[in-house]
Amino acid sequence: MPTTVPCPICDSPVVWGPDAKFRPFCSERCRQIDLGAWANGDYTIPVQTSEQDDDWQDTCPQQ
Ligand SMILES: [Zn+2]
């Protein structure tokens, strides 16, 4: 009986083995979604990132 883990994106069971090319994701699509989520800042890293963003907006002239 194969070990399965839930895909972090869509919760589909992913068979954990040499055939699971995209583990821990179920597919290339979910892997790309995860990469995109990081790039878009949907995942928050608990390190002063929002403060830095505010500072940047305050000091950047709007033109
Ligand atoms: Zn998935």
5 CA from centroid of ligand 1 (Å)? 11
- C-alpha 39 to ligand 1 mean position (Å): 18
The number of domains in the chain is 1
- The answer to whether residue 49 scores a pLDDT higher than 60 is no
pTM for this model (two decimals): 0.53
Rounded to the nearest angstrom, the distance between the alpha carbon of 34 and the centre of ligand 1 is 10
Distance 57 CA to ligand 1 centre (A): 35
Q: Provide the CATH number for the domain around residue 18.
A: 3.30.50.10
Residue 14, beta-bridge partner list: 5
For residue 57, tell me if it sits in a domain: no
Host domain of residue 24: 1-42
Q: What is the pLDDT of residues 30-40, one digit of tens each?
A: 999 988 876 77
CA dihedral 34, 11, 23, 39 (to 10 degrees): 0
- Does some domain include residue 54? no
SS3 46: coil
Mean pLDDT of 24-53: 75
Distance between Cα 15 and ligand 1 center (Å)? 12
